[in-house]
Amino acid sequence: MKVTYGKAISDALKEEMRRDSKMVIYGEDVAQFGNIFGLTRGMLEEFGPKRVRNTPITETAIVGSAIGAAETGLRPVIELMYSDFTMVAFSEIFHCVAKWRYMNGPEFKLPLVIRNASGSSNGAGCEHSNTVESLFMHAPGLTIVTPSCAYDAKGLLKSAIRSDNPVMFCEPKLLYQSKQEIPDEVYNSDYTIPLGLADVKREGRDVTIVAVGLMVPRALEAAEKLAAEGIEAEVVDPRTIAPLDKDTIYTSIRKTHRAVVVEEGNRTGGIGAELAASFQEELYDELDGPVIRVAALDVPLPYNITMEHYAIPDVESICKAVRAAF
């Protein structure tokens, strides 16, 4: 069966709601309207207003109340709509969500998932198109997940909901309508994907491309183009940004001896900057050249769609970066 990324998110939520009566969903426009992208449509009717409810547009209150709900036995999955709006609740997420379980010991659980639609979206403008994962990488205690395909989105979301640790679940908006062929017996099984485990999406021998979120399918397309030129690129998807599966990524780099990091977020202070620093420190003798970063331009993302596309890495910019690694 062909499954869209958005349907995978929706199905994961429904299956977990049916499995665990302590799970609740609330946030901006998730009930009657069914989420701005339609991912929670029908859930109010199935699960009722006590378990699926709208909130005022007050992100600090949404996150703060979810902390209390998680502390007292529920499993809240909250939606802040766009990832940009996590900034409104930054203090709650950075100080409370990320730190309180660590501060209070192992008997203290905080099973909370913060869902948000991340990244560019064809003309939403610079206040609705940010990729925020790198900002929250600086918050120890917070698990950060960015799936790149429908199969991963479903399995990772189910694991996030079942986790007793807080998870920020970032969903690239431009992937919602992307489709993936998944065998019925696999998709309809109660499968999960462990948090903190990267995936090699394409085997290769010449260069490792570490791609995140929306950039994974673009990196795979770039790898096919490069193969026609005689360059075999290995594409690794971290899937979980924090904690990071260094073992899988480092095994790939030790094989290829070259590394390119591709992300949708801005270049300065981004995921690529952190990964490049780690590779240089821990794999210096394995690298045959500098780690190359491919990222969005350091500009507020333009409202004009043509300019927006120019600011975000595309297949050719990935190919160009890989060629420069040789």
Positions annotated as catalytic residues are 59, 128
* CA-CA-CA-CA torsion sign (77, 79, 83, 89): negative
98 residue type, one letter: A
Beta bridge partners of 234: 208
| DSSP state for residue 204 in the 8-state scheme | -
Q: Is residue 82 helix, strand or coil?
A: strand
Phi, psi of 258 (to 5 degrees): -140, 145
Residue found under tokens 């006590």 = 50
b/e for 10-25, b at 16 or more Cβ within 10 A? bbbbbbbbeeeeebbb
Angle at 57 between CA 53 and CA 58, to 5 degrees: 105
How many angstroms separate the CA atoms of 60 and 67, rounded? 11
How many angstroms separate the CA atoms of 111 and 94, rounded? 16
C-alpha separations of 25 from 69, 92, 181 in Å: 11, 19, 28
* Cβ neighbours of residue 68 closer than 8 Å, sequence gap 6 or more: none
CB 81 within 8 A of CB 89: no
Tokens of 14: 């429904």
How many angstroms separate the CA atoms of 234 and 207, rounded? 6
Query: Which region holds residue 269: left if phi is over 0, alpha if psi is between -120 and 50, else beta?
Result: left
